Structure 1
Amino acid sequence: MIEPLDLEPFGPETVAGVSKLRLKFPGEPSFVFKDLSLSVRRGEKVLLLGPSGCGKSTLLQVLGGLIPQVIEVPIKAEGIVAPDSRGYVFQDPDTQFCMPYVDEELAFVLENRGIPRERMVPEMRRALEAVGLRPDLLHVPVDSLSQGMKQRLALASVLLLEPEVIFLDEPSALLDPEGRKQMWESVWKAAEGRTLIVVEHRIEEIADRMDRIVLLAPDGSILGDGPPAWVFGAFRRELQQYGIWYPGVWADFFKVLDLRRGGAAKPLEPDASAPLLTLRRFSGFRAGRPVVRADEARVDPGDFIAVVGPNGAGKSSLLLSLMSLLRFRGEYRLCGEAMPETEGASRRARRAIRPPTDRIGYVFQNPEFQFVAESVLGEAGFSAKAKQAGKAEAEAKARRLLRFFHLEGLERRHPYQLSTGQKRRLSMAAAVVGEQPVLLLDEPTFGQDARNTFAILEYCLEMQEKGAAIVMVTHEENIARRVATKVWEVLDGAVTERPAIEADLAERRAGT
C-alpha cells in the first residue's frame, strides 16, 4: 500500500495552507471547519474531494485568500498562508466577470500585467483558442455566451494572468465532453511548474494527473490525504458510504439499479399513443434572431430524452423556448393544446401568455434564476401551494422532497445561502413538487457528488415509470448512453432526434 504524504504545515515550500482553522458562517449552528490543518507545497497538483456541502469551495476560498480578505466570514486560525500570485476560477462563472464584453474582460487582465496594447489582441485570441472558444467571439457581450462558454472564458482569463498558483472550482461542470478534454489540456500545459489546487467531481479525467487527493468528510474534517491510488484504495468504504465520486462508481450504480428492477436496466418503454409534446417547424429566438430550431420532434409519456451537444449549440435556448421564456415560432402542442406563437406577436398578446408551469416542471441551468421564497422549505413548497394544495399537504410534500434530495435540516436557511450543489437540488425539488407530466431539466446533476447525482436520476426514473416525460440537457455520457430512451442532438441550433445507441438498448433489454 502506498503511504500517505507526511506534510509539515507551513514548511519553506508552502504556498497555501491553514493551521487549526475554525470557520462558521453567521447564524449557522455548526462549524464548517474545526481545527483543520492543510498545507500545499510549491508545484503540487492537489484535488479537494468530498461530498456536496462539506466545504470544499469554502476551503478553496480560504486557501486562495478570498476568505476573509474579500469575502467577510468569521474565521480563527493559528496561521494562514495565501499566495500573492494567484488565479481563481469560480464554480459559478457569472460571478467571475467584471467587464461587459469578452475582449474587455481579457484586456483587464493584460492591463494588470502591463502588456503593451499592440500585443493584447494576439494574446487574447490565443487564450480563447486554448480553451476552445472561437476568436470571432472576442467582441461579443459576455451575457450572450452560454454558461459553458462563460466557464471557458473564466479559465482563459486566469491563463492569461499566468499566476504562480491556480485555483479551480468545478471548472468543467458545464462543459461538453470535447470541451472538458480541451480545457484540461490547457490547464495541464499552463500548470507546468506551477501549483494547482482543484475542486472537481469529474475525477476520471484528472485523478491520475494529481499528486495528492485531500479527502473531506461530510463534517469538513480530513478523512485522508495522499496519492490518488492510496486514497481510492484505503478509503473505498468511506467513498461509498458518503456518496463521493470514485473510479467505477457509475458501474456500481447501474448494477444496483438493475438489481432493483429484477435485472431489467430499462424502466418503461414510452407510450407513443398520446404525445405530451410535439414540435413542427419550430424555432426559438433571442433578440429577434433564431437560435434553435426543430423541424419535427415529439415527447411521449415515459420518454427519457437526453439533450446533448457542444456548448453554445442551443440546448438551453430550446428548453427556454418550450417554457415560452424565449419567443418562438412554429407549431408547438403541449398535452394536446396548441401553444400560441410569441415571436411576431404584439406586446399586449405576449403579456397575456404565461409559462406553462401547470404542465411543465422546469429546472434552470442557474438555479438562482428560479428562487422566489425566503426559505428552503418555502421554495420547495411554492409550486404545490400554487396548485391550490392545502398548506399542510404542500408542506408535507416539500419536506418529503427535501429528505429525498438530502436537504433535511436546511429548511429555514435562505436559498442563496446554500452551496451550489444544494441550490441545484433545491431547484429540482421546487420544480417537481407539482408533479407535472413533463420535466425540463437543464444540467440538473452538475456540481453534485455521486450520492446526489444518483438521487436525482432515481427520482427522474420513478417519475418516468409513472408516465411522466423527462427532457434533460446533460453532458454526462453515462446518462445519454445508459438511461435515455432517445437523444436530441443539438448542433449549430438544429435539433436532430435519434434513438439511444442501439447497442446500449440491446444491453438494457437483455438485462446485461
Structure 2
Amino acid sequence: MIKHNSVLQDQAAVSVKGLRLKFPGEENFVFKDLSLSIRKGEKVLMLGPSGCGKSTLLQVLGGLVPQVIEIPMKAEEITVPDSRGYVFQDPDTQFCMPYVDEELAFVLENRAVERERMLPRMQEALARVGLDSGKLDVPVDSLSQGMKQRLALASVLLLEPEVIFLDEPSALLDPEGRKRMWQAVWDAAEGRTLVVVEHRIEEIADRMDRIILFGPEGSIIGDGSPEWIFRTFQREMQQYGIWYPGVWEEFSRSLENRQEEFAGKKPTNPAPLLALRGYTGYRGDRPLIHVKELNVYPGDFIAVTGVNGAGKSTFLLSLMGLLRFSGQYSLCGASMEETAGEGRKRKKKRRPPSDRIGYVFQNPEFQFVAETVFEEIRFSLKAEGMADEAETEAKARRFLRSFHLAGLEHRHPYQLSMGQKRRLSMAAAVVCGQPILLLDEPTFGQDARNTFAILEYCLKMKEQGTAIVMVTHEEEIVQQIATRVWEVLDGVVTERPPAEQSAEAEEMRVGT
C-alpha cells in the first residue's frame, strides 16, 4: 500500500521512499528499498546503464505506475505532482488523437482554452520545437519518428505543467532538432521542476543541477552535481558502460590501436552488392525518394544522414520492398523487378530482399513476431532454413550474449527496456548473416557500452565483406566510423564527396 505523505509533498516536487518493484514472473527486483527526493524547481538527470530501470522509475514518479501501467510495487511514501507533463521514450505511445491539430487541441481543451485562442498557441508550440505550422492538419502517423518526438514535446509545452518528465526526448532527433528541442525545454522549465532520462549528456549535463547515477541493478551509486559525479564516479561509469564526457574520444583511440582488427580486405574491382539507377521510392502513390545513381560495395560502411522527415526511413523501407519503388534496382547481381507503370500493380519478384538484406526498423516493436526474446532469435534462424535444433539454440544463445541480452531469454520482447528492444531487433536482423545490413538508427537509446558493442559488431561484419548502410543522427559515427556518407536532402539521396566529408569532420572537431 502506498502512503501519500503531506510533509513530503510540501517539501518536494517528487519523491519516493522505500520503493520495491519487480515485473511479474521475474525473480529479481528492479528496485529494492529505493528512496529519493527532488526539490521544487530542481533540474535532475537520471543516468545509468541501459535496462537499469530509469524509465520505469520515471513512470513511478510521474504516477503512471501503478495507476495506468499495472506493475507490482509498494512504497512507504510517495509524492506524485498534481500538475505534470510526460514525454515518452517511444513517441508512438504518446498520442491520443489521429491528427496533429486534434492532438494539440486535446491538451488545450483540457485546460479550458477558448477555441479562438487555440490556433496561435498550437502554432507557437510547433515553432518552439522546430515543426512547421503547416503540419497542423496532417495525420500523426505520417510524421517521422523524430517529428513525432517534437510533437510530443509540443503537447507538453502547451500543458504548462509544474513538473516535466522527459524520457530520452532527443534520441530520434537530428542535431539541429536537438538544439531547438532543448532550448524549448530550458525556456519551458524556467521555475519548474525537470526530471530527465537521457543518454546524450554532452548537450544537457552543464544545465542540470544534479545527476542521480544508477548502477546496473537499479540502485543509486551517486547523487550530486554533474561536476562531482563525473569526477568521482568515472571508474564506475566505465565499468558499467555509462556515458560520460570524453567517452567517444576513448572509443576512437581504442579503434586506432586495433586498426588491423577492423581493417578488412576489399576485393579488387568488386561488383556492387546493391545498385540503383533512376530509382524512386513511394509512400502510397506519392514519390518521396529519388536516386540518380548509387552503389553499395562489399565492406562499405555508409552513414545515411538528413534532417527529421527527409525520408531516410522511407528510403530503407523501399529498398526492403516494404514500400513501392520504381527504377533500376539490382541486388547481389539479381534485378529487383520494377513496379508496373501506373497504380500499385507490381510485377512478380524473383526473390524477396530479406534473404540478402538484414533490416533493423527504427521502431523495434514493429519487428517482433515471437512471444519471448529467445524465440525471436530462433524465428529468424528457422525462417532462413536452419533446421537443426541444437545448432539453432546454440547460435541464438551466442547472439543473445553478444548483444548483452543473456538472462532475458524468457521475457516477452515488449517487456524489455527500449535499449534492450533495440538490441534484440538488431540481433534478430543480423543473426542470419545476410551480405547487406540496413540499420535505421540502431544506437538510439543505448548506453555507451552497448553503442560501442553494436558498432564493433558492424565493423567486424564490414571486415568480412558485409555492407553496412546505417541511418544515424550520431555525428561521431559519421565522422569516425563511416567510410562513405549519403545525404537525403529535399527527397534526393546523393553521396557527399570525400573531401567535403573530411572538411566537415575537421570543422566540427575544431569547433568543439
> Is the counterpart of residue 502 in structure 1 residue 499 in structure 2?
no
Offset, 1:375: 1.2
Q: How does 1:235-314 map to 2 (within 5 A)?
A: 235-261=233-259, 267=264, 272-314=269-311
- For residues 297 and 121 of structure 1, the distance between their equivalents in structure 2, rounded to whole angstroms, comes to 44
- Paired with 1:352 and 1:502, the residues of 2 have a C-alpha distance of 40
SS in 1 for 2:293: strand
Query: Aligned partners of 2:268, 2:252: CA distance in 1, in Å?
Result: 24
Match of 1:341?
338
> What one-letter code is carried by the residue in structure 1 that aligns with 2:372?
S
Aligned residue in 2 for 1:17: 15
Structure 2 residue aligned with 1:366 = 363
From 432, 436, 442, give the equivalent of 2:440: 442
Deviations 1:327-358 (A, max 9, x none): 00100000011101236477674686764111
Partner of 2:373: 376
Q: Offset of 1:261 from its aligned partner?
A: 2.4
8 Å CA contact retained: 1:270, 1:300: no
The TM-score with structure 1 as length reference comes to 0.94
Q: SS at the partner of 2:307? A: coil
Distance 1:392 1:265, change over 3 A: closer
2:322 to 316, 325, 330: 325
Q: For the residues of structure 1 that align with 2:269 and 2:396, how far apart are their CA atoms? A: 32
CA distance in 2, matches of 1:144, 1:353: 31
1:101 shift after superposition? 0.2
Three-state SS of the structure 2 residue aligned to 1:182 is helix
3-state SS of 1:143 partner: helix
Q: CA, structure 1 residues 350+415, in 2 after alignment: closer, same or farther (shift >3 Å)?
A: farther
- Counterparts in 2 of 1:335 and 1:491: CA distance versus 1, 3 Å: same
Find the partner of 1:33 among 31, 37, 46. 31
CA–CA separation in structure 1 for the residues paired with 2:479 and 2:184: 28
**Corresponding residue number in structure 1 for 2:187:** 189
**2-structure distance, mates of 1:212, 1:458:** 32
Deviations 1:10-31 (A, max 9, x none): 3733011100100011111100
Structure 1: 5+ residue runs without aligned partners? 1-8, 507-512
1:138-149 matched pairs, under 5 angstroms: 138-149=136-147
Structural mapping, 1:457-468, within 5 Å: 457-468=455-466
Residue type of the alignment partner of 1:302: G
Distance 2:113 2:175 in 1: 33
Please give the per-residue CA displacement for 1:417-453, whole angstroms capped at 9, x wherever unaligned: 1111101000000000110000000000000000000
Paired amino acid for 1:294: V
Distance 1:28 1:479 in 2: 36
Higher mean alpha-carbon deviation, 382-391 vs 130-139, is at: 382-391
**Is the contact between residue 258 and residue 265 of structure 1 (CA under 8 Å) also seen in structure 2?**
no
Equivalent pairs counted in the alignment come to 498
Q: How far did 1:372 drift?
A: 1.1
Which residue of structure 2 lines up, in the alignment, with residue 510 of structure 1?
none
What is the rounded CA distance, in whole Å, between the counterparts of 1:441 and 1:325 in structure 2?
15
CA 1:222–1:302 in 2, change beyond 3 Å: closer, same or farther? same
Q: Which residue of 2 aligns with 1:68?
A: 66
What amino acid is the match of 1:284? Answer: G
Name the counterpart of 1:490.
Answer: 488
What letter corresponds to residue 191 of structure 1 in structure 2? A
Alpha-carbon separation, structure 2, partners of 1:373 and 1:100? 28
1:264-301 CA distance string (max 9 Å, x none): 98555686521000101101001201111111101000
Give the direction of change, closer, same or farther, for the CA distance of 1:349–1:343 in structure 2 (3 Å limit).
closer
**What corresponds to 1:180 in structure 2?**
178
Given residue 75 of structure 1, which amino acid in structure 2 is its aligned partner? M
1:413 deviation in Å?
Answer: 1.1
Cα deviation for residue 260 of structure 1 reads 2.1
Structure 2: state its 5+ residue gaps.
1-6, 507-512
| Counterpart in the other structure of 1:431 | 429
Q: Is this contact kept in 2: 1:371–1:415, CA < 8 A?
A: yes
Conserved? CA contact 1:303–1:468, under 8 Å: yes
CA distance in 1, matches of 2:460, 2:164: 41
Residues 111 and 486 (structure 1), Cα distance of their counterparts in 2 relative to 1, 3 Å cut: same
Which residue in the other structure is 2:121 paired with? 123
Counterpart of 2:198? 200
Normalising to structure 2: TM-score of the pair? 0.94
- CA contact 1:102–1:137 (8 Å) conserved in 2: yes
User: 2:182, 2:333 → 1: CA distance?
Assistant: 46
Aligned partner of 1:4 in structure 2 is: none
The separation in 2 between residues aligned to 1:329 and 1:496, in whole angstroms, is 17
Deviation sequence 1:340-391 (CA, Å, 0-9, x none): 1236477674686764111000000011111111111111122222222222
Cα separation, 2, equivalents of 1:206 and 1:314: 28
Which deviates more from structure 2 when the two are superposed, residues 495-504 or residues 48-57? 495-504
SS in 2 for 1:472: strand
Aligned residue for 2:383? 386
Give distance in 2, aligned partners of 1:366 and 1:232: 32
Task: Give the counterpart letter for 1:160 in structure 2.
Answer: L
Change (3 A) 1:155 1:353: farther
Residue in 1 aligned with 2:160?
A: 162
User: Secondary structure of the residue that 2:451 maps to in structure 1?
Assistant: helix
Q: Provide the rounded CA distance (Å) in 1 between the counterparts of 2:122 and 2:350.
A: 43
Amino acid at match of 1:54: C
Q: For the residues of structure 1 that align with 2:395 and 2:115, how far apart are their CA atoms?
A: 59
| Pairwise CA distance, 1:76 | 1.1
Residue 214 (structure 1) aligns with: 212
Q: 1:180 to 1:347 in 2, by over 3 A?
A: closer
Contact map agreement 2:280 2:290 (CA 8 A) in 1? yes
Contact 1:216 1:222 in 2 (8 A): yes
Give distance in 2, aligned partners of 1:378 and 1:363: 17
Structure 1 runs (4+) deviating above 4 angstroms are 264-272, 343-354, 503-506
- Whichever residue aligns with residue 274 of structure 2, its letter is L
Q: Say if 1:410 and 1:343 are closer, same or farther in 2 by CA, change over 3 A.
A: farther
Cα distance in 2 for partners of 1:98, 1:270 equals: 53
In structure 1, the residue matched to 2:4 is none
Distance in structure 2 (CA, Å) of the matches to 1:316 and 1:391: 35
Cα distance in structure 2, aligned partners of 1:305 and 1:268: 17
Paired AA for residue 210 in structure 1:
M
- Percent identical among aligned pairs is 71
Aligned to 2:510: none
